[in-house]
Structure formats: C-alpha cells, structure tokens
C-alpha cells in the first residue's frame, strides 16, 4: 500500500463523523433553499454557494437573504461576525502548513471549518505526510458539504414539481424553524463553556433591543455596533 | 427572477471573497509568526457567541406569524426552542436536537 492510499484511508476514517453531519445538515439547508428561497435554479445556487462559503450558518442565512434580498452591507456584516473566528483558527495552522505547496495552501486556507480544524489540529502526523493528510481530509469534508446541499436542493425542486403549491406549502410549513434550531444548538454549546456566557448575553440583549427599536430588516448593523461598543467598554472586566 | 439571480450572484461573489479573506487573514498578516494585537484576540474570542445570540433573535423574529392564532401556534417557537436546547444539553447531538425541534415546531403550527 502506498503512503498516499494509507493517508487517504486515514483521512476517510477520520472524516466519517463529518460525513454524517455535513451531508444531513447540508441536505436540510439545500432543501430549505429550494422550498423557501423563492429562487430559480436552486440546486445550482446551492452548489456554488456551498463550494464557495463552506459554512452551515451562511448556507441557511443565504435562504433568508435571497428571499428578502437583504442589503449587501448587512449580508457582509453578518458574514464578518459569523466567520471572524476563522481568522483566529488560521493562527495555529501557519506553522503546520509550512510544507504545503502554494496551491495546496490556497485550498487548505479557503476551506477551514470548525470540524475540519478540530480534526487537523488533533492529528499527530508531521511534515509532508501531515499536509497530504490534511489536504485529503479537507477535500472529503468539502465534498460532503457540496453534495449534501446540492442533493437537498434537487430533492426540494422535485418535490415542488410533484405536489401542488398549496400542498407543498401546507406540509413544509414550519420547516424554517430548522435555521433557528441550528443557531440555538450552536449557542447552547457555546454557553456550556463559561467564557461564552457574557458575550452571548450581550449579543442577545443588543439584538432584542435593536429588533424592537428598528425592526427585523434593519436590526443587524445597530446590533453589531452595540455589541462592539459593549465589548470595548467592558474590556477592563472581561479581558483576562 | 433575473433580479434574484443577479442578487444571488452578488452575494456569492462578495460573501465568497470575504469568507476567503477572513480565513486567509492570519496567513497574510502573521505569516512571519507575529502575535496579533491583544485587542484582536479579545474581540475574536468574544464575537462568536454574541453573533450567534444575535442570529437566534434574528431567526425567531423571522418565523412566519401563524394565520390561526391559538395558544399552541403562538407558543410553538418557544416550546420547540426549549426542546432543542434541552436535547442539546442532554444528548449533545446537533442532528437530533435540530431534527426533533423542527418536527415539533412543524407539528404545532400545522
């Protein structure tokens, strides 16, 4: 068995939990896009966005964005807040990816996710072998996500063709809760750890007030400004 | 429809570029292994839970208002939300929490 085959096997085995998660979550996000996104060619848009964003939250939010055609400024602000943590992940990968070639590095950087990062940083491989392993793992994870979203959107489109709009609307009613549930789950895991609690309370309070004051469509920018202001004012007590 | 496609394309390009830039930032700025300023680390650590909490509120506010207002349809988001959180605290399996929470919500509003 060549080293490459061995590394592929290793990467595949390590990626199985991600396969379960990404294919199903991706499928649900793709389906939501087809059913509620009110956009033609949903599987195409699902495929290109999942390949480019590789992010669960953004994939679900994309449905909301195309339905309401939210202002691009707000869209980018949300992207910035949701994905800012990836800028910190990269810090611990700089050294590890040093043996990667230019294009390998370009791909590895563009596809960092919570799950892929967690597996990559727990591997004990080193040097070239480590980079090859990471590359294969990343490709598998990326592939699961794209296939999940695209298939979900395709099934959603088929279902829309098979059933009348009224029936479709009646039995998919409430499916939009899956996005709320996704964020509730992420939040639950974050506040399980003590350091996540105060920022979560600040975010929650700022969002609630902005939503009441400015309405849902205009709440995001004031919320982020309020959050950042609170962080800076409270830094003396919160930064350790 | 063409407008929608144009909008989707704009989102694809801008969000795609920003996502890539954020992931690449440490490699671009700190490739020479410099530590980022303390304040960047602080905001980075704090921002994620706050942003997710903001999105929870944003999503709750975006759920469609039921046409038939009964105590059950009005309470549905809260009941399903509590179930989702409880399952996640207990089982720690995101798929189960999201699936059962959504199924409960759909059952209640239908």
Q: Kindly write down the DSSP assignment for every residue of A126-154, as one continuous string.
A: -HHHHHHHHHHHHHHHHHHHHHHHHHHHH
Three-state DSSP class for residue A46: helix
Instruction: Confirm whether A180 is domain-assigned.
Output: no
Look over chain A and give the mean of its residue pLDDT values, rounded to a whole number: 90
Q: Looking up tokens 């920022």, which residue turns up?
A: A199
The structure tokens listed for A213 are 């004051």
A173 touches chain B (CB under 8 A): yes
Is residue A231 located within the same domain as residue A138? no
Do A142 and A202 lie in one domain? The reply is no
- Sorted by sequence, the CB contacts under 8 Å of residue A85 that are 6+ apart come out as B44, B47, B48
In a domain, A179, yes or no: no
Same structural domain for residues A8 and A111? yes
Interchain contact, B23 vs A95, CB within 8 Å: no
> Does A165 lie in the same domain as A135?
yes
Out of A38, A184, A216, name the one closest to residue B84 (CB).
A184
% residues pLDDT > 70 (chain A)? 99
Question: What confidence tens digit (pLDDT) does each residue in A112-146 have?
Answer: 988 888 888 888 888 899 999 999 999 999 999 99
Q: Does A78 touch chain B (CB under 8 A)?
A: yes
Q: In terms of residue numbers, what domain contains A22?
A: 3-174
pLDDT band at A209 (very low <50, low <70, confident <90, very high): very high
A115 and A202 in a single domain? The answer is: no
Q: Give dist(CA A175, CA A191) in Å, integer.
A: 26
Give the pLDDT of residue B2: 61
Q: Which of B84, B81, B53, B58 is nearest to A200 (CA)?
A: B53
- A187 belongs to a structural domain: no
Tens of pLDDT, residue by residue over B49-101, are: 898 899 899 989 988 777 777 888 889 999 999 999 999 999 988 889 989 99
- Chain B hits for A107, CB-CB cut-off 8 Å, are none
Structurally, how many domains does chain A consist of?
2
Residue A111 lies in a domain: yes
CB crowding A147-169: b at 16 or more within 10 Å, else e: bbbbbbbbbbbebeeeeeeeebe
- How far apart are the C-alpha atoms of A3 and A196, rounded to whole Å? 41
Closest CA to A19 of B108, B95, B100, B57: B95
In a domain, A119, yes or no: yes
Instruction: Tell me the residues of chain B between 23 and 52 that have a Cβ less than 8 Å away from chain A.
Output: 23-27, 30-31, 33, 36, 38-39, 41-52
A16 and A129 fall within a common domain: yes
- Does A188 fall in a domain? no
Same domain, A200 and A238: yes
Q: What is the mean pLDDT of residues A170-178?
A: 83
Please say whether the beta carbons of A139 and B25 come within 8 A.
Answer: no
Residue of A nearest to B11 (CA): A72
Residues A102 and A209 in one domain: no
Q: Looking at the structure, tell me whether residues A128 and A19 fall in a common domain.
A: yes
pLDDT for B31 equals 66
């Amino acid at each position: 068995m060549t080293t490459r085959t061995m590394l592929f096997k290793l990467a595949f085995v390590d990626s199985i939990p991600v396969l379960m998660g990404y294919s199903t979550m991706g499928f649900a996000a793709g389906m939501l896009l087809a059913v509620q996104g009110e956009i033609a060619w949903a599987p195409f848009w699902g495929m290109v966005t999942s390949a480019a964003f590789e992010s669960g939250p953004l994939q679900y939010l994309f449905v909301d964005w195309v339905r309401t055609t939210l202002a691009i400024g707000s869209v980018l602000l949300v992207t910035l807040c949701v994905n800012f943590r990836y800028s910190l992940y990269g810090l611990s990968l700089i050294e590890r990816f040093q043996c990667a070639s230019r294009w390998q590095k370009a791909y590895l950087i563009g596809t960092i996710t919570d799950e892929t990062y967690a597996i990559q940083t727990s591997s004990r491989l080193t040097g070239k072998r480590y980079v090859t392993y990471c590359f294969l793992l990343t490709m598998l994870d990326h592939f699961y996500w794209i296939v999940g979203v695209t298939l979900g959107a395709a099934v959603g489109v088929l279902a829309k063709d098979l059933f009348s709009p009224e029936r479709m609307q009646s039995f998919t009613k409430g499916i939009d809760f899956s996005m709320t549930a996704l964020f509730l789950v992420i939040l639950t895991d974050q506040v399980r750890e003590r350091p996540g609690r105060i920022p979560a309370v600040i975010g929650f309070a700022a969002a609630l007030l902005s939503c009441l004051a400015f309405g849902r469509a205009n709440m995001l920018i004031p919320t982020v400004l309020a959050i950042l202001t609170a962080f800076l004012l409270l830094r003396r007590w919160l930064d350790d | 429809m063409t407008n929608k496609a144009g909008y989707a394309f704009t989102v694809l390009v801008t969000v795609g570029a920003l996502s890539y830039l954020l992931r690449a930032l440490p490699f671009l700025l700190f490739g020479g292994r410099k530590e980022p300023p303390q304040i960047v680390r602080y905001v980075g650590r704090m921002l994620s839970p706050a942003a997710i909490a903001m999105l929870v509120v944003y999503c709750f506010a975006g759920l469609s208002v039921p046409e038939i207002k009964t105590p059950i349809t009005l309470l549905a988001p809260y009941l399903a939300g509590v179930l989702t959180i409880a399952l996640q605290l207990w089982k720690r399996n995101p798929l189960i929490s999201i699936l059962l929470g959504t199924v409960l919500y759909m059952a209640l509003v239908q």
